[in-house]
């Protein structure tokens, strides 16, 4: 059976080429192929290739799209010569095309910003949409971000939806042969779930002890599955956004769930995940929980 590829979306921008280089490295780490995709919409409403309603010069736009893909494929091959890279121009709206591509990919990579974003947005709408609706983990590469070879930083909130992020982070640390920093942040507003055997212990021990327990339980299974991964566990009080963003300065990859405790229902992503896409200093992988897939 053929191994599922890494998919990367490109739009002809420099940020897109940065994402291609990262995607090629991810494909090499996984021993799989790389699929470079450009979503192309014909400019005339209701038009399709060869239709009478096409505007003059539309074929030139298609050629530009094909050139952008060819350039991206060449860039990937220069970055990682051992990776088999193929490109495709897929007709359709960019968000729909990329979400559909994630159905058959093991990882999707996209630039945080490209040509199709509004200047007022720090992170592109495509990256947010794909992170919220993709069927596989999504790696967002921010323009100007550093890609150091540091540890994997895992944001742990202890929610069931975050279990997939924990497994993904440990697998990535093992794949990269680096350590893993598991960071759980609690505050006065944090409400932990009670267990049948708590017997009031949570109230007696206080939130700090509960934070340590939640963190230990969240990573316990993955620590057994990946005994070779060096794990640093930290539970601390404060702002999850601020502390995770600061910790990302020394990380090679930040892994978070799409939505965990305290997320606002009106947002495509949880508020913390959205902030990390905007401000993290390294690539951010968003892993949706099993119950969040449609």
With cut-offs at 50, 70 and 90, classify the pLDDT of residue 243: very high
Report the distance separating Cα 227 and Cα 21, nearest Å: 30
With cut-offs at 50, 70 and 90, classify the pLDDT of residue 198: low
Q: Are strands 253-257 and 284-287 parallel, antiparallel or unpaired?
A: parallel
Provide the 8-state DSSP code for 262. T
With cut-offs at 50, 70 and 90, classify the pLDDT of residue 164: very high
What is the chain's mean pLDDT, rounded? 83
Closest CA to 21 of 73, 56, 92, 59: 73
CA atoms 113, 118, 119, 123: torsion sign:
negative
Report the distance separating Cα 157 and Cα 154, nearest Å: 10
Report the distance separating Cα 275 and Cα 268, nearest Å: 12
Look up residue 206 and give its two tokens: 């206080």
Top-confidence residue, 208 or 54: 208
Report the distance separating Cα 33 and Cα 53, nearest Å: 38
Helices (H), 85-206: 94-101, 125-133, 163-176, 201-205
Look up residue 287 and give its two tokens: 């892993």
Top-confidence residue, 160 or 281: 281
CA atoms 235, 238, 240, 244: torsion sign:
negative
In 3-state terms, what secondary structure has residue 51? coil
Closest CA to 145 of 230, 252, 33: 252
- What integer pLDDT is reported at residue 44 of this predicted model? 45
Taking only the tens place, the pLDDT of each residue in 169-194 is 999 999 999 999 999 998 766 666 55
Percent of the chain with pLDDT over 70: 75
Report pTM. 0.85
Taking only the tens place, the pLDDT of each residue in 103-120 is 999 999 999 865 444 333
Report the distance separating Cα 126 and Cα 141, nearest Å: 12
- What integer pLDDT is reported at residue 12 of this predicted model? 86
With cut-offs at 50, 70 and 90, classify the pLDDT of residue 42: low
Taking only the tens place, the pLDDT of each residue in 121-154 is 334 578 888 998 999 999 999 765 556 679 999 9
Look up residue 84 and give its two tokens: 């088999």
- What integer pLDDT is reported at residue 272 of this predicted model? 87
């Amino acid at each position: 059976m053929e191994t599922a590829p890494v998919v990367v979306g490109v739009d002809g921008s420099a940020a897109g080429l940065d994402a291609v280089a990262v995607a090629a490295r991810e494909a090499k780490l996984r021993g799989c192929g790389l699929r470079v995709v450009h979503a192309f919409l014909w400019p005339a409403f209701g038009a399709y290739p060869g239709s009478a309603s096409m505007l003059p010069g539309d074929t030139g736009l298609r050629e530009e799209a094909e050139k952008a893909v060819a350039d991206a494929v060449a860039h990937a091959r220069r970055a990682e010569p051992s990776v088999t890279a193929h490109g495709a121009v897929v007709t359709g709206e960019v968000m729909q095309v990329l979400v559909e591509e994630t159905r058959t990919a093991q990882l999707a990579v996209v630039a945080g910003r490209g040509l199709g974003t509004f200047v007022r947005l720090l992170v592109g709408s495509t990256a947010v949409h794909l992170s919220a609706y993709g069927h596989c983990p999504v790696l967002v590469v921010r323009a100007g971000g550093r890609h150091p070879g540091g540890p994997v930083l895992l944001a742990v909130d202890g929610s069931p939806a975050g279990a997939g992020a924990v497994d993904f982070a440990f697998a990535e640390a093992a794949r990269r042969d680096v350590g893993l920093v598991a960071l759980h942040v609690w505050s006065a507003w944090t409400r932990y779930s009670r267990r049948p055997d708590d017997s009031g212990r949570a109230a007696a021990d206080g939130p700090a002890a509960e934070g340590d327990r939640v963190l230990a339980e969240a990573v316990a299974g993955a620590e057994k599955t990946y005994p070779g991964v060096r794990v640093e566990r930290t539970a601390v009080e404060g702002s999850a956004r601020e502390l995770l963003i600061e910790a990302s300065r020394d990380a090679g990859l930040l892994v978070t769930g799409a939505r965990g405790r305290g997320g606002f229902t009106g947002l495509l992503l949880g508020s913390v995940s959205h902030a990390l896409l905007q401000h993290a200093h390294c690539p951010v992988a968003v892993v949706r929980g099993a119950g969040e897939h449609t």
